Amino acid sequence: MKIEWINHSCFKINLSGKIIYFDPYKIPENKEKGDLILISHDHNDHYDAQSVSRIKKNSSIIICPATCTKIIENEKAKGIKPNESIKIDGITIHGVPAYNPNKKFHPQKNQWLGFIVDDGKNRIYHAGDTDLIPEMSQFKNIDYAFLPVGDTYTMDFVEGVKAANKIKPKFVIPMHNWDKDLKEFEILMKKQAPDVGVLVLDLKTPKDL
């Protein structure tokens, strides 16, 4: 498996020979086309139509929340709800809740998504935009958890560590960061979640895992 952090919450993953993009945003031109494009919600830093057009091919399958009718209409996307799954070429995409319990930015009623992607070898959780939520305790056997830690709109470093301890993945990959030093998150993880590995990726530098 190869992971490339493009920016913000946007990642490109090569999984079982399929190119998967999460939350396309400010993707450079001439990037490899995607087989699967997963969009957690329709905020413009997670759904950038120009980026989608750069990575979409005729056979691309785009998945988004069922409530995001604009994306479904514009991109001919498949809409799913939290706790619904879809299986494509041996890869299962399971939608999970993503919301702010006590903030207005991502209300639970919108039924926006995180994704658990499973090819039978790797189980990846991309959290979308979320705070620490009770449902995280139900996410089992996660290999790589992509967690937002930028604060304000999502979890901060402290909540991200608490999420790691709830989910207990093999590794956490922080994302949706603004101007904080992710090395500080790594240090906090090692102190407070020592059983969970942490990978701070370099932007635009693919990593083989």
Distance (Å, whole) CA 138 – CA 79 = 22
* End-to-end Cα, the chain, rounded Å: 5
Among 116, 136, 112, smallest CA distance to 46 is for 112
Q: What are the backbone dihedrals phi and psi of residue 115, each rounded to the nearest 5 degrees, phi first?
A: -130, 140
Taking CA atoms, 4 is separated from 27, 173, 194, 200, 205, in Å, by 11, 11, 25, 12, 6
Give tens-digit pLDDT for 72-97.
999 999 999 999 999 999 999 999 99
* Average pLDDT for the chain: 95
Distance (Å, whole) CA 60 – CA 51 = 13
Question: What percent of the chain lies above the pLDDT cut of 90?
Answer: 93
The secondary element (H helix, E strand) that includes residue 186 is helix 182-192
pLDDT, mean of residues 63-70: 98
Give tens-digit pLDDT for 111-152.
999 999 999 999 999 999 999 999 999 999 999 999 999 999
- Please report the beta strands in 57-164, taking only residues with DSSP state E, as ranges in sequence order: 61-65, 78-80, 85-88, 91-97, 113-118, 123-126, 144-148
Give tens-digit pLDDT for 173-196.
999 987 889 999 999 999 999 999
Count of residues in the chain: 209
**pLDDT at position 98:** 98
Contacts 24+ apart (CB under 8 A), 123-126: 124/13, 124/15, 125/96, 125/167, 125/169, 126/9, 126/11, 126/22, 126/23, 126/38, 126/40
Using an 8 Å Cβ cutoff, are 138 and 158 in contact?
no
Distance (Å, whole) CA 156 – CA 142 = 21
**pLDDT at position 62:** 98
Distance (Å, whole) CA 165 – CA 121 = 22
**pLDDT at position 208:** 76
Domains annotated on the chain, with CATH? 2-208 (3.60.15.10)
Q: What is the pTM of this model?
A: 0.96
Distance (Å, whole) CA 27 – CA 123 = 24
